[in-house]
Amino acid sequence: MSYIPLSGLSLRDIEYVVAVDDLRNFSRAAERCGVSQGGLSEQVRKLETLLGVVLFERTRRHVAPTPQGARLIALGREVLAAARAMIEAARVQAGPLEGMLRIGVIATLGPYYVPSLLPLLRHAYPQLRLQLTDSQTLPMLQMLRHDELDLVFAALPVSHDALHCTPIFEEPFVAAFPAQHPLAAHQGLAMGELDGPDLLLLEEGHCLREQALALCGMPPHHDRQRLATSLEMLWHMIGAGEGYSLIPHLALRHRGEWEDLITTLPLSDARRTIGLVWRASDPREDAFREFAAFLRENTPDGCHPVTDPDQGGYGIQG
């Protein structure tokens, strides 16, 4: 094989190729990278010519890496991760939480936690710029491992050798019922009373689904006829009288207009632990732990800061 000078390789071109592999679409990859589709396609072709390898199989409806392309793209991901680690290691010396921080937040937490969090961060970290993403837990952890996110707010436990985490606060659950539901009249409820056929769940992929099933002592793959696509839709289904469910405490904010439709009851010791997750290889670990300590000091009302984050054993409890 002929010699290929390193000067012919560009981190930008590798980033383009990885984006195409992630999205399997040249147009969306160009949008992510902030360039025109024609420009991105041309750079990918130039890289293929330089390497002497066709990286992608292309049709009008289909973009997928060739077998050899997949191997080279995996190496390209490692190159990008090493380049970012180099930048972050240098940034640690000047100010670890300055500049861009890419944060993912699970969908059942983000809309209810982030609005009160942003003013705190703007005041305490004025040099910090945020890029926020919300999704289900597993896709965001995958993005974290692929160096597409720096931090993820998730419900613990999260177990993966390539990831580190620390707990921040415990968020209680409440039971939410249609106002006329028989259980809504109870003064106190045991978790075992919530395992009936009226229990509403989120669709698979949401960690809140597994949390609700675990707290109610039900099997993890319990079948239900009606599943909600989001926490907001779950709330609407309860208000419509379809059934009841468990709702995280922070999601109760600004629900006054639902008073006549939905009754909420506290549950003894039913809670989830919210924590921060990052890559084990990230050189900013000390800064992330300091950031977590700041978040504990500013735990939202109705939640409880984790006082001993090194103790372990945090997760879903009830």
Q: Where are the domains of the chain?
A: 6-91, 96-169+273-305, 171-271
Tokens of 152: 């993820």
Comparing 96-169+273-305 with 171-271, is the CATH topology the same? yes
Return d(Cα 122, Cα 77) in angstroms, integer: 32
171-271 maps to CATH 3.30.300.20: no
Tokens describing residue 310: 């090194």
Right CATH for 6-91 from 2.60.120.260, 3.40.190.10, 2.120.10.30, 1.10.10.10 = 1.10.10.10
In this prediction, residue 94 carries a pLDDT of 47
Average the pLDDT over 31-60 and give the result.
91
H helix intervals, 125-262: 137-145, 207-215, 231-239
311 pLDDT higher than 80: no
The CATH homologous superfamily for domain 96-169+273-305 is Periplasmic binding protein-like II (3.40.190.10)
Q: pLDDT (tens digit, 9 = 90+) per residue, 109-157?
A: 999 999 999 999 999 998 888 999 999 999 999 999 988 899 999 999 8
- The pTM for the full model equals 0.72
